[in-house]
Amino acid sequence: MTDIPTKSLADLGLTAQGGAEARVTGLAVDSRLVKAGTLFAALPGSKVHGGEFIQYALRMGASAILTDAEGARIAAEELAASPVAVVVVEDPRAALAYAAALWFGAQPEVMVAVTGTNGKTSVASFTRQIWEALGLQAVNIGTTGVEGAWEAPLAHTTPEPITLHRVLAEAAAQGVTHAAMEASSHGLAQKRLDGVRLAAGGFTNLTQDHLDYHADFDEYFSAKAGLFDRVLGEDGVAVIQMDTNRGTEMCNAAESAGLEVIRVGRGQECHLRLLGLRFDSTGQDLRFAWNGAVQQVRLELIGGFQSENVLVAVGLAIAAGSDPAEVFATLPRLQGVRGRMQLAATRENGAAVFVDYAHTPDALATALQALRPHVMGRLICVFGAGGDRDQGKRKLMGEAVAAHADVGIVTDDNPRTEDPSDIRAMVLQGCPEATEVGDRAEAILRGVDALQPGDALLIAGKGHETGQTVGEVVYPFDDVEQASVAVAALDGHLT
Ligand SMILES: CC(=O)N[C@H]1[C@@H](OP(=O)(O)OP(=O)(O)OC[C@H]2O[C@@H](n3ccc(=O)[nH]c3=O)[C@H](O)[C@@H]2O)O[C@H](CO)[C@@H](O)[C@@H]1O[C@H](C)C(=O)N[C@@H](C)C(=O)N[C@H](CCC(=O)O)C(=O)O
Ligand SMILES: Nc1ncnc2c1ncn2[C@@H]1O[C@H](COP(=O)(O)OP(=O)(O)OP(=O)(O)O)[C@@H](O)[C@H]1O
Ligand SMILES: N[C@H](CCC[C@H](N)C(=O)O)C(=O)O
Ligand SMILES: [Mg+2]
C-alpha cells in the first residue's frame, strides 16, 4: 500500500475536540502546502489569521486542523460540515513547535541557542568551530544557513518549527552531535524553537532593531528574554554578556527562571572576565580570566567586539559540557565569519577595504570604532538601510556614521518594496554631510577611489549576502566581489 509514515494526534501531543483521531501524513503552516492527510496549523498572523485558509486546506484533504478559538470561529461553518479532526488550543504556535519536534523525533544530542540584536551568527559560528576543533561533529544554524559537518541553505535566521525540526533530524541522521543555533526575536516571539531541547542559551546585547515588528523596546526585550524564562529548561545554563544595555536585566530574568548563569564581561562578578585586548594589523591578543585563573590567547580576528562574541561562545561550549582548558586551546584556530569584518581587498597604496554586516545603529558604531585602532588615516563608510524594515533605525544609523566615520556615502541596501530615495533621505537626516550615491556598485567604487595611504573603507550592511532586493526581484550583488572589482579597476588603471 503506502509507505508514507503517519502519526496519530496523540503521537504529536495533541487532543482533538470530541476525542476525534486522525492519521497525519505531514505538517504545514501554509495552506498552499497542504496535501492529503496533512495537519494544517492555522496560526494567528500579523496580516491575516490562518483560519481564513482552513476551507482551502480542507479541499486539499487536510486530516487535522490545529488552531485557536479565533481560527475555529472564522471557519466554523466549514469545520462543522467536515469530518476533519480539530485541535483548538490557546497557543497554536507553541503547540506546533512541540508537534514538529515529535514529528521529526531526532535532534543533535547537545544544542545551544544564542540571542541578541547583534553577534548571533558570529557566536553560533565560533561555538561550532570550537566544537569542531575538539573533534566533535558540529553545525551552526542561522542567517548563513546550516554550516559545518553538514550544510544546507536556510531562508530564515530561526526557521519556523517544521523546517527547523526537519533540519535538526537530518543533521542528527548525518551524525551531527552538537548544534549552535541563532534565536531571532521573531523566532522567539513566534515560539519557533520552543520544541528544541537546549543545554544552554547565550545573550550578546540588545539595541535598536525590528521595532517595526515589536511594539516597543520592552516587548523586544521580553521576546529575547523568552529564551531564558521559557525555552530553556530549569537544568539549562544561561551565558550572559553583562557589559551591555539590559545585560543585568537579562541576567536577572535567567536567575529568576532558576537557571545557572555564566556571566561574561569586564566586571569583577563575571565568571568569564575580559581583562584586556591588544590590537595589531592582523588580529588581537585577548587576556581573560575563567573563575579567576588568567588566560591569554591570540585571535586572528579584527575588532574588539569579536572577542566579546568569542567569550560568549566559550561560555556556551563550557556550559554544554566541554572542558574549559581544552576550549581555550582551540581559540587561536578560530576563523572570522564570512562578511563579518572581512578584509575584502587592499589597494596598492596599502589602504584596506572591509566588508561587514552592520545593519543597526549600534553595529555600525561598534564596527567603525573597532576599525579605528587599525587606521592611521581616514575611515570611510559606504552603507544604507533596508526597505520594509524598522524605519526608526535609519536616522540613527546615519548618526552613528556621522559620529564614527570621517566620510560617509549613503547607498541602497535591499530597498525591497520601498522607494530607495525615501530610505536614503531618512538615513541622510542623521548624516547630512554624507554623499548620496544610490547605485551600490558606484558607491563602492567612489569609496575605494577616495582611499589614500593609511585610510580604510568599511562597506556595511550586506556582509555575506549575495543579492540586492529591489521590489520583489533579487539582483546578484556581492560586496566582497564589488570591492575587488573596484580595486582592480582603479589600481589597474593607475599602473
Ligand atoms: C513577520 C513574520 O515573522 N512573519 C511570519 C509569520 O507570518 P505572519 O504572521 O506575518 O503571516 P500572515 O501573512 O499574517 O499569514 C497568517 C498565516 O496564514 C498562513 N497563510 C497565508 C497565506 C495563504 O495563502 N495560506 C496560508 O496558510 C501563513 O502561513 C501564516 O501562518 O508566521 C509565518 C508562519 O510561521 C512565517 O512564515 C512568517 O515569516 C516570514 C516569512 C518572514 O519573513 N519573517 C521574517 C521577518 C523573520 O522571521 N525574520 C527573522 C529575524 C531576522 C533578523 O533577526 O534580522 C528570522 O528569524 O529570519
Ligand atoms: N557583540 C557585538 N556588539 C555589537 N555589534 C556587533 C557584535 N557582534 C557583531 N556585531 C555587528 O553586527 C554585525 C552582524 O553580526 P552577526 O551577523 O554575528 O549578528 P546577528 O545577530 O546574527 O545578525 P542578524 O540579526 O542579522 O542575524 C557584525 O557584522 C558587526 O558589525
Ligand atoms: N535579518 C536582517 C538582515 C538585514 C540585512 C540588511 N542587508 C537589510 O536588508 O536590511 C533583516 O532582515 O532585517
Ligand atoms: Mg544572524
**Dihedral sign, Cα of residue 187, residue 188, residue 193, residue 196:** positive
Decide if 2 is inside a domain. Answer: no
How far is ligand 4, taken at its centre, from the CA of residue 11, in Å?
33
How far is ligand 4, taken at its centre, from the CA of residue 118, in Å?
7
- φ, ψ of residue 85 to 5 degrees: the values are -80, 130
Total domains, the chain: 3
Integer CA distances (angstroms), 132 to 125, 170, 196, in order: 10, 18, 21
Decide if 180 is inside a domain. Answer: yes
Among 154, 362, 388, 389, name the best residue to mutate to test ligand 3's pocket (greatest count of ligand atoms within 8 A of Cβ): 389
pLDDT band for 221, please (50, 70, 90 cuts).
confident
Helices (H) and strands (E) in the chain, counts: 16, 24
Q: How far apart are CA 482 and CA 153, in angstroms?
A: 23
CB of residue 202 inside a 6 A radius of ligand 2:
no
The set of residues, in sequence order, having a beta carbon less than 8 Å from that of 482 and lying 6+ positions away, is 440, 441, 444, 445, 459
Question: Which CATH number belongs to the domain containing residue 433 in this structure?
Answer: 3.90.190.20
Question: Are 82 and 19 members of one domain?
Answer: yes
Decide if 1 is inside a domain. Answer: no
**Closest Cα to atom 31, ligand 2: which residue?**
358
The x, y and z cell numbers of residue 113, run together, are 541557542
Decide if 495 is inside a domain. Answer: no
Binding residues for meso-2,6-diaminopimelate: 389, 413-416, 461, 465
Q: Is the pLDDT of residue 209 over 80?
A: no
Decide if 169 is inside a domain. Answer: yes
Q: How far apart are CA 228 and CA 414, in angstroms?
A: 33
Question: Are 149 and 289 members of one domain?
Answer: yes
How far is ligand 1, taken at its centre, from the CA of residue 137, in Å?
31
The set of residues, in sequence order, having a beta carbon less than 8 Å from that of 15 and lying 6+ positions away, is 9, 87
Question: Are 142 and 68 members of one domain?
Answer: no
Tell me the pLDDT tens digit for each residue of 294-316.
Answer: 999 999 999 999 999 999 999 99
**Beta carbons within 10 angstroms of residue 185's beta carbon:** 25
Of 72, 100, 128, the residue at which a domain comes to its end is 100
The dihedral over CA atoms of 201, 93, 144, 184, expressed in degrees to the nearest 10, equals -50
Q: How far apart are CA 484 and CA 479, in angstroms?
A: 9
CB of residue 155 inside a 6 A radius of ligand 1:
no
Binding residues: 31, 116-122, 157-158, 184, 190, 192, 389, 413-416, 461, 465
Question: Are 80 and 40 members of one domain?
Answer: yes
How far is ligand 3, taken at its centre, from the CA of residue 414, in Å?
8
Tell me whether 0.85 is exceeded by the ipTM.
yes
120-133 and 304-319 helices cross at what angle (nearest 10)? 60
Question: Are 95 and 120 members of one domain?
Answer: no
Question: Are 397 and 268 members of one domain?
Answer: no
How far is ligand 4, taken at its centre, from the CA of residue 157, in Å?
6
CB of residue 298 inside a 6 A radius of ligand 1:
no
Tell me the pLDDT tens digit for each residue of 446-487.
Answer: 999 999 999 999 999 999 999 999 999 999 999 999 999 999
pLDDT band for 282, please (50, 70, 90 cuts).
confident
**Closest Cα to atom 12, ligand 1: which residue?**
45
How far is ligand 3, taken at its centre, from the CA of residue 390, in Å?
10
Residues bordering ligand 4, an ion, CB closer than 5 Å: 120-121, 142-143, 157
CB of residue 460 inside a 6 A radius of ligand 1:
no
Q: Is the pLDDT of residue 16 over 50?
A: yes
Structural domain harbouring 13? 7-100
CB of residue 143 inside a 6 A radius of ligand 2:
yes
Q: What would the mean pLDDT of 361-372 be, rounded to a whole number? A: 94
Question: Are 63 and 154 members of one domain?
Answer: no
The atom of ligand 3 lying closest to the CA of 157 is 1
Question: Which CATH number belongs to the domain containing residue 170 in this structure?
Answer: 3.40.1190.10
